[in-house]
Amino acid sequence: TDAARVSGAVKVYGSGDTAVRALDGVDVGFPAGRFTAIMGPSGSGKSTLMHCAAGLDTLTSGAAFIGDTELGALDDRRLTLLRRDRIGFVFQAFNLVPTLTVAENITLPMDLAGTRGDREWTEALIDVVGLRDRLHHRPAELSGGQQQRVAVARAFAGQPDVVFADEPTGNLDSRAGEEVLGLLGRAVRGMGRTVVMVTHDPVAAAHADEVVFLADGRLMDRMESPTADRVL
Ligand code: ADP
Ligand code: ADP
């Protein structure tokens, strides 16, 4: 089954002569329990596809689903709740709250939802991302790689159906990037989670199980990653 999918997805920005067709009829599913990378040249529609699949932006036509839930059928309040409760996000720019500690940033989604979350799961995540000795630090006291590891822990904290990562290694040096990619891989292959990652970097995409290729807003190809790092 697909944790997320889009069907007949069309996204047009603007109108008239200046309209840009960022997605031009895309059908793609992101299977549960898999790590899928979305690749393609700059401007091919990767971010647009991710944002529409994750309910951060709306399609011009076609449909986006998280599980069986069609996003276009939800009002704003329900869409906000769905993003909060069923989706995790990792962005290029980390997007941590600077005034909160590492521990508070990680539990923020649960605190916002008014739930305590699964304490064992949170503790396991803290160990997996290797931040046990940084829990009371604030983001500015951490390296970029450490900040992104906090963002990864936060994304998985509420046990969402799917985590979307938009160029998660874009601001990291290659070593820190490898660590973050390794964590995403472990979350999928070791902890049974689902990840969809946008990247233009073939080295990053090689960590995924499967790669879908976009060009000019269309799905060009879909393949098993020949080099997926399947070591937990
Ligand atoms: P990618 O992530 O592959 O670089 P994007 O999804 O960001 O591609 O962009 C796809 C196309 O849509 C590009 O031509 C881009 O210029 C255009 N585009 C993206 N966002 C907007 C926007 N908010 N307004 C107008 N055009 C946009
Ligand atoms: P950029 O394209 O400049 O890198 P981001 O990837 O940080 O921007 O954010 C893309 C979009 O996602 C923005 O519209 C932003 O408001 C939204 N966004 C960022 N963080 C979250 C979040 N945690 N939950 C929901 N939406 C978010």
The ligand with the least distance to the CA atom of 198 is 1
The predicted complex's ipTM stands at 0.71
Rounded Cα distance, 152 and 53, in Å: 19
For the CA of 91, the nearest atom of ligand 2? 6
Q: What is the 229 CA–ligand 2 centroid distance (Å)? A: 29
Mean per-residue pLDDT, 11-26: 96
User: Considering the chain, what percentage of its residues have pLDDT values greater than 90?
Assistant: 84
Residue 106 has pLDDT above 80, yes or no: yes
Q: What is the 91 CA–ligand 2 centroid distance (Å)? A: 7
Q: What is the pLDDT of residue 228?
A: 54
Q: What is the 49 CA–ligand 1 centroid distance (Å)? A: 10
- Residue pair 188/194 in contact by the 8 Å Cβ criterion: yes
For the CA of 200, the nearest atom of ligand 1? 3
Rounded Cα distance, 200 and 37, in Å: 9
CB-ligand 2 contact for 95 (6 Å cutoff): yes
Residue 232 has pLDDT above 50, yes or no: no
Tell me the whole-structure pTM to 2 decimals.
Answer: 0.87
Rounded Cα distance, 192 and 117, in Å: 18
Q: Which residues of 73-101 are buried (b: 16+ CB within 10 A; e: fewer)?
A: ebeeeebeebbebbbbbbbbebebeeebb
157: nearest Cα among 117, 189, 112, 186 = 117
The ligand with the least distance to the CA atom of 85 is 2
CB-ligand 1 contact for 112 (6 Å cutoff): no
CB-ligand 2 contact for 83 (6 Å cutoff): yes
- Residue pair 55/30 in contact by the 8 Å Cβ criterion: no
The ligand with the least distance to the CA atom of 12 is 1
Kindly report which listed range (116-120, 196-200, 217-221) carries the lowest average pLDDT score: 116-120
Q: Name residue, tokens 């793609």.
A: 28
124: nearest Cα among 144, 161, 101, 153 = 153
Q: What is the 226 CA–ligand 2 centroid distance (Å)? A: 31
